[in-house]
Chain A
Amino acid sequence: MDKQLDVLQGTLDMLILKAVSLGPLHGYGILLRIQQISKDRLEIQQGSLYPALYRLEHQGWITSEWGESANNRKAKYYRLTAAGKHRLQSEAEKWNRMADVIAGILGTTPEEV
């Protein structure tokens, strides 16, 4: 297994938005979902997840309600709002552009300069 990467500063919000965009999840579920879709290559500090959730909810990107978990326990489920959907879109675009630029820079060979 590859060594796990720490989540880049500022990208946690985007990952959370993406995770809940696939369907309502509780906090622990979000953690698992991110690990699952990253094929365990990303390491998320569990303690930093909740402040991020609260912040996103405070800004209105996601909303929460209490529901039943798979093993019949009460859990708080998070869902993407319409505003959050836009937000995720624009964040993803920004990220892709950024990634292209960085990849371009890093891929530069001496002959190209």
Chain B
Amino acid sequence: MTLWNRLRSWVQAILRRSRMESEMDAELRFHIEAYAGDLIRSGALRSEAMRRARMEFGGIEQAKEECRDARGVHLLDSLLQDLRYGLRMVRKSPGFTAVAVLALTLGIGANTAIFSLIDVILLRPLPVRDSDHVVVLRWGAHKQPHAHGYGDFGFCHINGDGTERMGCSFPYPFFEQLSSQAGIFSSVTAFAGSPGLHLDRGGNRTRVNSPLVSGQFFETLGVRAALGRMLQPSDDVPSAAPVTVLNYGYWQGEFGADPSIVGKTLYLDRIPVTIIGVAEPNFAELSPGHTWDMWLPLTLYSRLNLHWSEGLNDNASWWLTIVGRLKPGVSLAQAQTAVSLFFRNEMLHGAQPLSKEEDDPRISLLPVQKGIVGNRWLYQKPFYILMIAVGIVLLIACSNVGGLMLARTASRQKEIAVRLALGAGRARIMRQLLTESVLLSVAGGVIGIFVAYWSLAALRSSDWLGSIHDFAVKPDARILIFTVLVSVLAGILPGLAPAFRGTRLDLTPTLKENAPTLPNISHHGRRFSIGGVLVVAQVTLSILVLAGAGLLVRTLVNLKSIDPGFDTRDLLLVGIDLKNNEYSEQQAQNLYRELQSRFSSLPGVTNVSYSSDVLLSGSLWNGDTNLEGRKERVTRNILSVGPRFFDTMRIPLIAGRTFTQADFGSKHKITIVNQAFVRRYLENRGPLGLHLAGSKEDPGEEIIGVVGDTKYDDLKKGIEPTAYVPLKGGRVNFELRTAAIPEALIPAARSIVRELDSHLPSPDFKSQTEQIDRSLFRERLVAHLSSFFGLLALALACLGLYGLLSYEVSRRTREIGIRAAMGAQQRDVFRLVVGHGVVLVIVGAVVGTAGALGLTRYLQSLLYGVRPTDPITFVAVGLLLSLVSLAACYLPARRAMRVDPMVALRYE
């Protein structure tokens, strides 16, 4: 409270300076006059009284000054003075200012940019009211409970430790049972991801992100309506008319924030859905990376013809995420015990037991902020690594500016000595020097914020940020506070060394000496002056960043040079979302065939095929089944493909034949397996003619061919046994092998699709290389950004080296002149300067390399095909450093060689 008081009175004193002065005058005058009045009353003469009163009061001006001091007014005065003086110094040496501000701008800007990404992706709280009381359910067991199907939509990320199975998906009947349990949750909700519906509007069909949520979703999360009302349990019953709640941003973007939207009807894949409300603006996404357009009631599931579960009432289909809000007064531990007991009971003794006593099925309740992580976990490690990298860059920038300031303070020794001699306090001069460096860093910080947002915006408008696109990066209070703190730190750090060093002076010789520079200022040991130590530190730090960046770049190169088993170049992918409920199998087949032949006739297209999924896109279909002549079940990846798929993709046929057009109409089930399948499951047996997935009534799929191995969903994964089957319907991706640039065909391909069937959703085009780039976007991002920061670190370190050597050369001009006059060759002078620099670089490189060798193992999980101590990377980093640092030494050395002994000596 008194602190507040002081602050208030200080601010008042500053802001109402003139008022304070006049009040002070009035008060003192009153005092003196009152005293004089008393003197007169006790018999003094009127003329005498005033004089005596004034005299006895003492120094009026001194009293006033002490009053001002008591209010802290002088603090501001001297600060303003420091600022004025600092600005003058900054203006006087524009070169120094520009370099220092540039270094700090880059350092602070990089930190702000990366911190903004971290802030928005990792730190921003979920848009859930009282999120402390909201929990997400996670099951755990020694063995996975029985499941007909198990899937999740990436809301939570489970790190299984191998022996324990756990997950966040539950069957619908379990959710129903749980919601009828009173006493634990005040409300509980279940939800799934988006079924990928299309909005029919004005002849266009656009895909919408519309998760299915149970009736109490908004109530549980505490989300209110901006317009209309939110979903209620009565909307979420099978007999209710379908309704939807729109996301605020989607309502603004797609419907122009139409205020009369409530009550209107939308058509989602021909299902009429009534809009009942718009959610409040801050609720755009529950977990990072999942932006939602609208929410649909869960029971709509049964009308959507999806295959996520065997019907809502199947208690062995695990597909729903469950979130509950704890009843007031119920602790997390109590709730966890109760829910766990309930789950165990259901699993062991329910209508259909799914788990065994010894598997110990149980539930953990995770706070929603920790449990619903979405894509966050993907970015956690790379972003913290990048944050460390930019932190190091900032340190280098700081020590750089510190070195520059040190050199400047050294040349300002005399000025400082004069001020000290005239009675300035040491603290006052230190404050002056710190004010100067803070001034520089504030300038750097302000420009840095702009640089950060400008570069983030540039990154966003390119496709560089990949799925981070979906994260809205906007400055908030936390980012600004961060930047301010970083700027202040970046102002104080570089100012410290000069402030301490510069003010510790022996006044007499400094003032006496007439030479502009003094040999003994910054030197204790010649090689390890503070400036030298700063340069060593910069080289050390830049090696750390460069080594990490080198490893990440090597990882990206390794990933890109992986042979996926098919030809990824010149391949255009056309994705078309065909709905099962709109196209029968026969219609779909006809459409595929027609599109295939029309695409084939496009000029520049050499081959066309199609498949259910795109290779290397992250989507994967797999399952286990039985194989003729083998007791154990076999696991294989499955891909449905069209005719000529292997030709188009350039996957070699090893044995047997590939699919022909006739196979797609026939009832006879056939499959083609890859070599890995044969290696894993068919030792020394001929694969052709064997049957897969057979049963007593059905012989299953006959193996008619063997093809070469390919990667399926992810470049980084190994080759897995894979079986190809004919694609009979549903979502399809065409692959167009082209002779020209694949993207050039997009307009023609688009009009073909529209001509053929105007009702089809607009297709999604990309080239296979773009698809791979997208799948590697995280690696790309971290490799590119870290190498950018690595080079920045190197450039700053070399700038520091250059600055130090230039300063030394100019300081030692006289010495060099004497040496030259005494017969030193240019070569000797060159060696003198470069030698000094090389020693610094070598010391820094050795320390840095040792540090990097110890630290890069923390990158392990981000690396592919390269060891953390990869010799090639370290040698390359060393070479790069030597080249650049030699250039930094060469320039000052050349200047030293050109020193004319006559000029240098006459200088005296």
Contact A69 B1 (CB under 8 A): no
Contact A51 B67 (CB under 8 A): yes
Contact string, B9-35, partner A, CB cutoff 8 A, digits 1/0?
110000000000001101110110111
* Chain B residues with a Cβ closer than 8 Å to the other chain, count: 31
Residues of A close to B63: CB separation below 8 A = 47-48, 50-51
Contact A59 B2 (CB under 8 A): yes
Contact B71 A28 (CB under 8 A): no
- The answer to the question of A39 belonging to the interface, with a C-beta cut-off of 8 Å to chain B, is no
Contact B26 A50 (CB under 8 A): no
A82's closest neighbor in chain B, by CB? B1
Assembly CA distance A69 to B35 (angstroms): 13
Q: Give the shortest distance, in Å, between A14 (CB) and chain B (any CB).
A: 17
Residues of B close to A75: CB separation below 8 A = 27, 30, 34
- The answer to the question of B203 belonging to the interface, with a C-beta cut-off of 8 Å to chain A, is no
Instruction: Kindly identify, within residues 8 to 43 of chain A, every residue whose CB is under 8 Å from any CB belonging to chain B.
Output: 26-28, 31
Residues of A close to B23: CB separation below 8 A = 76
A58 and B6 in contact, given A46-B31, A51-B66 (Cβ under 8 angstroms): yes
Contact B69 A60 (CB under 8 A): no
Contact B58 A54 (CB under 8 A): no
Assembly CA distance A89 to B30 (angstroms): 30
B58's closest neighbor in chain A, by CB? A47
Contact A69 B34 (CB under 8 A): yes
Contact B70 A45 (CB under 8 A): no
- The answer to the question of A57 belonging to the interface, with a C-beta cut-off of 8 Å to chain B, is yes
Q: Give the shortest distance, in Å, between B143 (CB) and chain A (any CB).
A: 67
Q: Which of A27, A45, A54, A57 contacts B31 (CB 8 A)?
A: A27
Contact B5 A74 (CB under 8 A): no
Q: Give the shortest distance, in Å, between A49 (CB) and chain B (any CB).
A: 8
- The answer to the question of B59 belonging to the interface, with a C-beta cut-off of 8 Å to chain A, is yes
Contact A26 B30 (CB under 8 A): yes
Q: Give the shortest distance, in Å, between B300 (CB) and chain A (any CB).
A: 64
Contact A28 B70 (CB under 8 A): no
Contact B1 A45 (CB under 8 A): no
- The answer to the question of A55 belonging to the interface, with a C-beta cut-off of 8 Å to chain B, is yes
Q: Give the shortest distance, in Å, between B71 (CB) and chain A (any CB).
A: 6
Contact string, B47-66, partner A, CB cutoff 8 A, digits 1/0?
00000000011111011101
Q: Which of A47, A57, A69, A71 contacts B59 (CB 8 A)?
A: A47
B65's closest neighbor in chain A, by CB? A51
Q: Which of A27, A46, A57, A74 contacts B58 (CB 8 A)?
A: A46
Assembly CA distance A7 to B56 (angstroms): 16
Assembly CA distance A50 to B29 (angstroms): 12
Assembly CA distance A27 to B56 (angstroms): 15
A74 and B26 in contact, given A51-B66, A54-B71 (Cβ under 8 angstroms): yes
Q: Give the shortest distance, in Å, between A36 (CB) and chain B (any CB).
A: 12
Residues of B close to A98: CB separation below 8 A = none
B9's closest neighbor in chain A, by CB? A58
- The answer to the question of B196 belonging to the interface, with a C-beta cut-off of 8 Å to chain A, is no
- The answer to the question of A73 belonging to the interface, with a C-beta cut-off of 8 Å to chain B, is yes
Contact B31 A47 (CB under 8 A): no
Assembly CA distance A83 to B1 (angstroms): 9
- The answer to the question of B72 belonging to the interface, with a C-beta cut-off of 8 Å to chain A, is yes
Contact A74 B28 (CB under 8 A): no
Residues of B close to A73: CB separation below 8 A = 30, 33-34
Q: Give the shortest distance, in Å, between B619 (CB) and chain A (any CB).
A: 67
Contact A60 B6 (CB under 8 A): yes
Residues of B close to A31: CB separation below 8 A = 31
B53's closest neighbor in chain A, by CB? A46
Q: Which of B9, B34, B60 contacts A28 (CB 8 A)?
A: B34
Question: What are the 7 tightest A-B residue pairs by CB atom distance, in nearest-first order?
Answer: A60-B5, A47-B58, A51-B66, A54-B70, A55-B70, A54-B67, A47-B63
11 additional A-B pairs beyond A28-B30, A47-B59, A58-B72, beta carbons within 8 Å, are A27-B27, A31-B31, A45-B58, A46-B35, A46-B58, A50-B66, A51-B63, A54-B71, A59-B5, A73-B30, A75-B34
Name A residues whose Cβ lies closer than 8 Å to a Cβ of B: 26-28, 31, 45-48, 50-51, 54-55, 57-60, 69, 71, 73-76, 83
User: What are 12 A-B residue pairs whose CB atoms fall within 8 Å in the complex?
Assistant: A26-B30, A27-B31, A28-B34, A46-B35, A47-B62, A50-B24, A51-B66, A55-B70, A59-B2, A60-B5, A74-B26, A76-B26
